[in-house]
Amino acid sequence: PILTSRNLSYDNWVHSTGHADLFQLPDGRSYMVCLGIRAEEGEPGMRRSNMGRETYLLPVTWEREPMEWHSLGPEGKRLWPVCAPETGRVERWQPLPFPGATQSLTCNLFHDTFEKEMLDPEWLFRRAPKDGTYTLAPKNLQLNASPEVLAERVACSFMGIRQRQSEFDFSVQMNFKSQNSSVEAGVAIV
């Protein structure tokens, strides 16, 4: 592979890189977009992230091939891509390819008072929600209990929003009244 993080520990900012696409800008510079998992800040050796695999941009340079591979093109013109040539890894902050461009953090600044007739598209479900999973009324969302649980990875009474940063604040206001002691409700990070 031309892109790997096998030589880096899970303490590296981004690990498990792969599934990349190479492209060239009109000025001739080359870049790659790839997938990788962001290590959680302050968690050495963290192998997983609630944010899953994210997309990263890397600069690429081209060097003569490391060995004679005759099938890659005419002799003397075979080149090999070198990803992130300065450090050899995906960094937390990478200079952007366009001068003057800014990079901003995408934060969840989502607030819902349930005053619209339809759910905001920011809301997500585990699988497609079954009929009767929720009821929407002015200033109120009712999430109805179901026998399925989050651990089963099936459609269940779960609604969420996408986590975009490792560190964040959130709040929720809820009323929970159950006539069955085995029914649970609350907040989960999955």
CB 49 within 8 A of CB 35: no
pLDDT tens digits for range 144-176:
888 888 888 888 888 988 887 777 788 888 888
* pLDDT mean over 3-26: 81
Which distant-in-sequence residues (6+ apart) come within 8 Å of 110 by Cβ? 120, 122, 161
Considering only residues 51 and 118, tell me which one the structure prediction assigns the higher pLDDT: 118
Residue 58 exposed, middle or buried by CB count within 10 Å (0-12, 13-18, 19+): buried
Which band of pLDDT confidence, cut at 50, 70 and 90, is reported for residue 120? very high
> Quick one: pLDDT at residue 156?
85
Asked whether the beta carbons of 17 and 8 are under 8 A apart, the reply is no
- For residues 163 and 169, give the distance between their C-alpha atoms in angstroms, rounded to a whole number: 11
DSSP letter at 13 equals S
What separation in angstroms does the CA of 97 have from each of 58, 60, 147? Answer: 9, 11, 50
- Return the minimum-mean-pLDDT range out of 7-11, 25-29, 95-99, 185-189: 7-11
176 φ, ψ (degrees, to nearest 5): -130, 120
Model-wide pTM > 0.75: no
CA 126/CA 148 separation, integer angstroms? 11
pLDDT per residue as tens digits for the range 67-114:
665 555 556 566 788 888 888 888 877 788 888 887 776 666 788 899
